[in-house]
Structure 1
Amino acid sequence: MSQVVNQPANTVASAERDPVALGIAVSAIILFVATGGMVLPQVMRSWNGAGTAPDPMLVSTLLLNIALVIFGWRRYSELTAEISERRKAETLALHLAEIDPLTGTLNRRSIAKATSELMASTAAEGRALAFIVLDLDNFKSINDYNGHKAGDLLLQTTAKRIEALLPPNGLVARLGGDEFACVVPFDPNSPDQIDQMATLLIERTAQPIDYEGASLEITVSVGLSATSGPQAHHKTAATATDLLHYADIAMFHAKKHGKNRYFWFEPVMETELRFRGEMEGGIRHGITAGEFVPYYEQQIDLETGKLAGFEMLARWNSPTFGLVRPDVFIPIAEEIGLISPLSESLIEQALQDAKTWDPSLTLSVNISPVQLRDPWFSQRILKLLVKHNFPPQRLDIEITESCLHENVGVVRSMITSLKNQGVTISLDDFGTGYSSLAQLRSLPFDRIKIDRSFVTELKDANASAKIIRAIISLGDGLEMPITAEGIEDTNILNTLKAMGRLKGQGYLYGKPEDASSVHQRLERENLLMPRNRPDDAESDSSTGEHRRAV
């Protein structure tokens, strides 16, 4: 853009100094004065009959001189008009380079320069400067659902609402997409002025916008930074670019902690953001490098005490961060769009591991809500089952209750597709989401899993078990078996066993183990497929009698 802006300026400057036009004009004037002074008096005397006619050569020279004057004047007029048009083009180019065309505010390129100039003037007055970054929450979903015209209206209205709250010397810019920034001078001894402004920005932005009879509503996450004052935590003098960077980090922190709120920048936020960036890069590399591995938690029949199966849990065996738990890396993988390839690689490993187990043992797999938005999810699961020749009836897909709130129709279609092939479906974390009795009746679930938050309360001997009894009664009424998570001691186990026939899992039975440890456990308990037992391998190589007995 700088080349486009500079080119007209250079051309106009050269046009203003055009030596050809200047030489023609000056020469024409000099020649006209010289020849006209000799020829015109002779012409006048000849007309009056008082003298002879002028020399034809001098007359021709005068006429040529007149033509040159006309040509020079015309050239000058055209050049003046051209310069005027080019100045207009230059002004327009500068405007387009600095102004956002949709909202009429400054853009990312121009806000830094304008902020630097404002910083200099406010510093001379002993005032501080606050940089406020605002990002609309869930703008993409509103834009996709209502159309780009509605999205444009939302952005334009937001810009106007921000401008209405700014002081006369404040700045506002659209940084790109659905992100805005404003710069506000304030008294460094009264930083609460900026807190009040941030609160007002959140409140005003949230006001509904009427669009073709519909109401558009949105929230905003806000990040704040300042040049000085108690809220300026940066150690060195901040430039305009630094302020934008700090406020952007604070805004991201606000999004991470629930959205629709504001935070002042603190140095620890930058450390967290840098760590997150390293995590994102590690996840991308780790998927292709095979660093994500399945761990398995035992599921026990509480009535008999026998092993019924395992739930697969994700672990990240990172060379940089060590063994990372799923509650750390799964939310990041969901946000950066990598949860599907990560999950499918783990499921594929788990199917290979579970093929060596006794056929009576099931494999339970948790599915992210993000994966359920993919209409081809069930087909990919079935493709993996066929690829590894794994019996569908041994696979149990666990869907969290919160998934039902997002799109019941899509979830119903996927559940039906999987169940038609023999896969069982469990409703995980029951009691913490939004499912209703009508949804439980209409969706073909095979099992309900009680969330561990209810189960762990049974540690206390005086704890109430009414909620768990109610869930068990609900399961009995719907003919859905129950699994209880979070069994951590014998008090919990004995209480649950007295409530009916349940499956359970928890640290009382041991922590999740990797595939090798599970294989060794099953080998000790004689719960491997015949061809995976050492004694069977010996029998197969000799008489095969043991294999036939099995």
Structure 2
Amino acid sequence: MGEKNDQRPGLEKAQRDIVMLGIATAAILLFVGIGGTVMPQVVRHLISGNVAPPDTALTNALLLNIALIIFGWRRYSDLRQEIEQRREAEEKANRLSQLDSLTGCFNRRSAIEKLMGAIASLGQPNDYAGFVMIDLDGFKEINDSNGHQAGDTVLLAVADRLKRLAPEGASVARLGGDEFAVILPIVGQDLTPVEEWVKTLVAEVAKPIEVEIGAIEVTISAGVAVQALPKPTDSLEGAARKLMHRADLAMYQSKKEGRNRYCWFDPAMEVEARLRREMESAIRKGLENGEFSPHYEQQIDLETGKLVGFEMLARWNSPEMGTVSPEIFIPVAESCGLIGPLSQSLIASALRDAQSWDPSLTLSVNISSMQLRDPWFPQKLLKLLLSSDFPAARLDVEISESCLHENLTAVQTMIVSLKNIGVRVSLDDFGTGFASLAQLRTLPFDRVKIDRSFVGELRRVAEAASDGTGADDQQEHIVNTLVSLGRGLQIPVTAEGIEDTSILDTLRTMGEMKGQGYLYGKPEDAAAVLKRLTELDMLAERAAPINDDEQRRSA
């Protein structure tokens, strides 16, 4: 209705113009008819003076006809000018509808049309239409840290570089946000020039970009896919969208491989994407059906050999897929936004299970980097603690060291918020290379956990020492250094990955610490833990009061 009302004034005006044109045409015809009678009479009257002047009514009619002709002509000229202005405005609006307002690149709709045109113009079976999907790495952090104005400057600079580097006949588009694309015409089967061009593109875009606050370095992840001449029965739009999807899969693969690079599409990526979609669906169904459960790995005081706590680990037993490894389903849950509900469900179950444990036992839980971006996570965790009546001081939240590299400010804010509700916070995977000494001094961690990749190598060092091969004991030095660093910062240490007594013996020589690993048994479900604690006489109803030294040691 609104569109019809907007068009009605113009329609009525056009109708009036048509009527006016008809009136002007009739006036011309009348002028010819009346003028043929009146004008000779006027001429004879002016020449001889004896001839009577023309009839007054006819003269007035002639003058009226002349006025109508003049008015009609002027209106016709105005109408022509108005039509020309409207045509130019429509062409401008059409151009603007095809372009991105910020960068001047083609927009997503135009990119699809350009790609359809490139596919349609393929003349030989050996020719290709290429599509390069480009995504800026870490653009959100650039916006958050430097402001949206700096973000716009980066987008403009990247767009200019893409336009400058684009081959002849290529089209550059901004698909939205920090996503760009290049449509490439490719002649012949040799794709080496395309490979070299994309390699140059990745390197050139990575050069620093000057903004008001200084230079910003931004990298890109690119995915490349090509399309040969489709079958006559195939839809051009369908072929274009399929090509875009394949380039998108290749781009995400380049992000998985470390960013600042490019990947070619491989059919295996579509298989992986299909399996991932099936996995996402199964995770959603599993959450609804309660298929996920917490398992618990023992944490031991290495000096006394006493059980001091458990780390909760996620386990999934799917009726369709069987037992699924956390290394498989957790990344999928993170990518599809289900890690938050999954983690909260597992933590809630673990808190209920831990209610029956001895009050000296602690519970450690890992949180995802995605949860660190949720400003409401501390409040959600506090709600779980209150609903389960579990003491916050017995809960230890573990944050992976890699999270410090992603957004240190967000991690610092999260740690303070978590400690404000009373829980302890540990740095997981300590030693993998992201945390600096300054960060450890600034961030108020209650504990650091040495990564199992270092601890596990201690067995090889012990074996080499026992057989006299004299193998390099670099790994032992690394672990000793990490332990000493924790001691120097007055932060307690936990060693992960203790798998045999040789590792345990080596760690005991390095000072007081907690440890966990398969030497003490594999992770167990709640029922097995309850049985173990019953045998150890460490259930809540049988627990004896603990003194301050025991509480300090368990922490």
TM range (shorter): 0.7 to 0.9
**Equivalence for 1:216:** 216
Give CA deviations for 1:150-190 in whole Å, capped at 9, x if unaligned.
22222222122111122332211111111111122233332
User: Gaps spanning 5+ residues in structure 2: where?
Assistant: 465-470, 544-555
Cα distance in structure 2, aligned partners of 1:426 and 1:196: 46
Query: Structure 1: which amino acid aligns with 2:80?
Result: T
* 1:40 pairs with 2:51: no
Residue 403 of structure 1, CA deviation: 4.0
Percent sequence identity is: 55
Residue 288 of structure 1, CA deviation: 5.6
Residue 18 of structure 1, CA deviation: 6.5
Query: Structure 2: which amino acid aligns with 1:171?
Result: S
Query: Structure 2: which amino acid aligns with 1:43?
Result: V
Q: Is the 8 A contact 1:31 1:65 kept in 2?
A: yes
**Equivalence for 2:173:** 173
**Equivalence for 2:240:** 240
My pick for the range that moved more, 261-270 or 395-404, is 395-404
Query: Structure 2: which amino acid aligns with 1:220?
Result: I
Give CA deviations for 1:54-83 in whole Å, capped at 9, x if unaligned.
233322332332233123213312221221
Q: 1:451 to 1:55 in 2, by over 3 A?
A: same
**Equivalence for 1:55:** 55
Q: Is the 8 A contact 1:293 1:314 kept in 2?
A: yes
Residue 419 of structure 1, CA deviation: 5.3
Q: 1:228 to 1:50 in 2, by over 3 A?
A: same
Q: 1:54 to 1:320 in 2, by over 3 A?
A: farther
My pick for the range that moved more, 495-504 or 217-226, is 495-504
Q: Is the 8 A contact 1:98 1:107 kept in 2?
A: yes
Cα distance in structure 1, aligned partners of 2:379 and 2:202: 43
Query: Structure 1: which amino acid aligns with 2:353?
Result: D
Q: 1:345 to 1:215 in 2, by over 3 A?
A: same
Q: 1:445 to 1:156 in 2, by over 3 A?
A: closer
Residue 358 of structure 1, CA deviation: 1.9
Q: TM-score, normalised by structure 2?
A: 0.83
**Equivalence for 1:302:** 302
Query: Structure 2: which amino acid aligns with 1:38?
Result: T
Query: Structure 2: which amino acid aligns with 1:158?
Result: V
**Equivalence for 1:149:** 149
Q: How does 1:18-37 map to 2 (within 5 A)?
A: 19-37=18-36
Q: How does 1:404-419 map to 2 (within 5 A)?
A: 404-405=404-405, 411=411, 415=415
Cα distance in structure 1, aligned partners of 2:439 and 2:43: 112
Q: How does 1:343-382 map to 2 (within 5 A)?
A: 343-374=343-374, 377-382=377-382
**Equivalence for 2:256:** 256
User: Gaps spanning 5+ residues in structure 1: where?
Assistant: 533-550
Off by >6 Å, runs of 4+ in structure 1:
none
Aligned to 1:262, the other structure's residue is in SS state: strand
Cα distance in structure 1, aligned partners of 2:53 and 2:205: 89
Q: Is the 8 A contact 1:188 1:228 kept in 2?
A: no
**Equivalence for 2:550:** none
Q: Is the 8 A contact 2:114 2:183 kept in 1?
A: no
Query: Structure 2: which amino acid aligns with 1:394?
Result: R
Give CA deviations for 1:182-218 in whole Å, capped at 9, x if unaligned.
1222333320110111011111111112112511220
Q: 1:334 to 1:127 in 2, by over 3 A?
A: closer
Aligned to 1:358, the other structure's residue is in SS state: coil
**Equivalence for 1:117:** 117
Q: TM-score, normalised by structure 1?
A: 0.84
Q: How does 1:254-293 map to 2 (within 5 A)?
A: 254-283=254-283, 286-287=286-287, 290-293=290-293
Q: 1:188 to 1:514 in 2, by over 3 A?
A: farther
**Equivalence for 1:80:** 80
- Relative contact order, higher structure (CA 8 A, sep 6+): 2
Cα distance in structure 2, aligned partners of 1:388 and 1:43: 113
